[in-house]
Amino acid sequence: MDETETPGVALDAAPEAAPAGAPEVAPERQPELPPFVTATKPATDIRTRIQEAGGLSLDRLPMLSVVFDRLATACSDAAKHLAASTTFYSLSGVESGRFGEFLDAYDANAVVGIFQAPEWDGHVLVGLDRDFLYTMVEVLFGSDGAEPPVEDERTFSAIELRIAQMVFEQVGKALESSFGLVSQTAFRLERMETRMEFAVIGRRSNKAVQAKFLLQALNRGGEMFLIIPQTVLNPLRPALGKVLTGESAARDPRWAEQIAAEVQKTTVRLRAVLEERHLTLGEIAGLKVGQVLTLDATPATRIKLEGNDRPLFWCRAGQSQGSYVLRVEESINPEKEGGHGLLG
């Protein structure tokens, strides 16, 4: 082979020496791409990464607050089956920030549960602070709240950790039902941690969303927190950005059924009006005992059925088993009738 052949670019071999007197030529280099752009990534992936770098705007994710409200309601319902004392969860706030900063606020003061969401290919973190666990212990063991709250910075006992695990299992089911509005996935409890440095589901500098929930029971309470990495929420942005007009943020089906049942039991007084006549004050003053008032109504005249001075139905009078009865013929539309007078 001719040794004067044009040289190529060698990746592993040392560069050949240039002939004497020839100018030095810098080796060819491929143009460098920005760190978030690769030659094989489509444009949609680039846009996604730019969105991730910009962070989440909670105002553009209205369904996220709806999901968290449903989570608080579901946790309250689950707690009703554990103890006779009233236990109530409420959403106290939602914020975005750095994952590590959220965890540092609970260092040595909380138990966290790491949940895997298989369909999302990610993890979420649920934490219970010390006051939450102490309150839950008293609720489950029948305390009446007469004693002052426990203030002890000791390590968590085996019983407290077992109760934490039970709460996490209930929260996992509540998460599954709450997020069912936007995406179906299971939440599996992988492990529990009491040291925040071991509660790792991503880099500490990664962005995340944190929701805080207050527990109220026995005139005391505690805090539960949920941390979701931004990388987990990014694929859910389209669904979280929609508003379901028919969905109530904190609807309790059992409470709605109870209200409907009680309303249906309400007693309503009805009045059947055969005829109305307008008299002057002088005519009314001249009425005497035994005086007969002549009515224009006939047996074929329709009778107006009223409730709370509001016209409801037109009826026909009749008799059944020795009593007067009314047969409803049609409903009354006050706007069409143009008044309360008889048209019958």
Q: What is the pLDDT of residue 31?
A: 44
Question: Of the given ranges (47-56, 91-100, 257-266), which has the lowest mean pLDDT?
Answer: 47-56
Mean pLDDT of 24-41: 44
- The answer to whether 182 and 108 have CB atoms below 8 angstroms apart is no
Task: Give the model's confidence band at 82: pLDDT under 50 very low, under 70 low, under 90 confident, else very high.
Answer: confident
To the nearest whole number, what is the mean pLDDT of the chain? Answer: 81
Give the residue-averaged pLDDT of 216-227: 91
Q: Token match 């298989």: residue?
A: 118
Task: Please give the backbone phi and psi of residue 178, each rounded to the nearest 5 degrees, phi first.
Answer: -70, -45
Contact 201, 115 (CB under 8 A): no
Residues sharing a CB contact under 8 Å with residue 20, sequence separation 6 or more, in sequence order: none
- Predicted confidence (pLDDT) at residue 147 exceeds the cutoff of 90: no
Residue that terminates a domain, selected from 191, 221, 255: 255
Q: What is the CATH number of the domain that holds 229?
A: 3.40.1550.10
Lowest mean per-residue pLDDT among 4-18, 159-173, 269-283: 4-18
- Residue in 223, 229, 227 with CA at minimum distance from that of residue 110: 223
Identify the H or E element spanning 210: strand 207-217
Assess contact for 247 and 66: CB atoms under 8 A: yes
Percent of the chain whose predicted confidence (pLDDT) is above 70 = 78
Looking at residue 260, what is its pLDDT?
A: 85
- Same structural domain, 88 and 212: yes
Torsion angle (degrees, nearest 10) of CA 76, 165, 185, 235: 90
What pLDDT is attached to residue 315?
A: 94
**Where are the alpha helices (H) located in the chain, listed in sequence order?**
43-54, 62-80, 99-104, 130-140, 158-178, 230-233, 237-240, 253-264, 281-285, 334-337
Higher pLDDT, 67 or 245: 67
Residue 35 lies in a domain: no
Strand-pair partners of 63:
none
- Do 250 and 329 fall within a single domain? no
The whole-number pLDDT of residue 120 equals 93
In a domain, 289, yes or no: no
Q: Which domain holds residue 326?
A: 268-274+299-344
Number of domains present in the structure of the chain: 2
Residue 147 lies in a domain: yes
Note whether 241 and 323 are same-domain residues: no
Give the SS3 label for residue 25. Answer: coil
Is the pLDDT at 249 greater than 80, yes or no?
A: no
pLDDT confidence of residue 81 = 82
Is 70 contained in some domain? yes
Which residue shows structure tokens 């007084």? 269
Handedness of CA 304, 307, 311, 315 (dihedral sign): negative
Residue with the larger pLDDT of the pair 123 and 81: 123
The proportion of the chain whose per-residue pLDDT surpasses 90, expressed as a percent, equals 45
Q: Say whether both 237 and 331 belong to one domain.
A: no
Q: Domain check: are 143 and 248 in the same one?
A: yes
Question: Do 227 and 95 reside in the same domain of the chain?
Answer: yes
Positive/negative CA dihedral, 56, 59, 63, 69: positive
Amino acid identity of residue 257, one-letter, is E
> Is 163 inside a domain boundary?
yes
For the cut 60, the answer to whether the pLDDT of residue 125 exceeds it is yes
Cut 0.75: pTM above it: no
User: Does 247 fall in a domain?
Assistant: yes
**All residues at 6 or more sequence positions from 164 whose CB lies less than 8 Å from its CB, including other chains:** 111, 113, 128, 133, 156, 192
